[in-house]
Amino acid sequence: IVCVMLYMLVVRQKATFSSAKKNIIKNMLSAEIARAKRHEHKTGVLILDIKGTASRGIHYFLPGKTVDVEHVEKSVRKSDKIIQENFRRYYVILSHLAADNSVNIIKERMSKVSVEKNWPDSIIGVATYPSDGETADDLIRCALEDMDRDIKV
């Protein structure tokens, strides 16, 4: 009985932690959208999904763990905010974009870096405010749809 109760507690804590992370991502993206509206510039979101596990050479501490946040941080601009949702999914909030195609340039650069650094198979989805959506939920949904298009290709 104690083992079952501990298991249920761990599962509940994991669900609560995941829900809190998603709320943090949405709140940060909403704040960036509000700032973009106020200053009349574009913003966006990039979602990086790692499909495999990294070799020990990529992450020295835990074999089998995926790409570390520091590896992703080195691949984006200093002004971009990175949130790791779990071991396999990263959200990058892109601020101050020059044009709608800027996210595609960043996506291509991230793809090149993943090949150069021997990251495991990855899928990248992007979305831009205001062309792809007006809210954080819209942008995240659009970026996930972009990831689905990459999978089907």
pLDDT in tens, the chain (153 residues): 667 766 666 666 555 556 677 888 888 888 888 998 888 888 888 888 877 655 554 545 544 455 556 667 677 777 788 887 776 788 888 888 877 677 788 888 888 877 777 777 788 888 888 888 889 899 889 988 988 887 655
Q: What DSSP element (H or E) covers 102?
A: helix 102-116
pTM of the model: 0.74
Dist. CA 152–CA 146, nearest whole Å:
10
The confidence score (pLDDT) of residue 63 equals 47
The confidence score (pLDDT) of residue 50 equals 78
The confidence score (pLDDT) of residue 94 equals 85
Give the residue among 146, 18, 17, 31 at the shortest CA–CA distance from 93.
Answer: 31
- The terminus-to-terminus CA distance of the chain in angstroms comes to 48
The confidence score (pLDDT) of residue 117 equals 73
Q: 54: which DSSP letter?
A: P
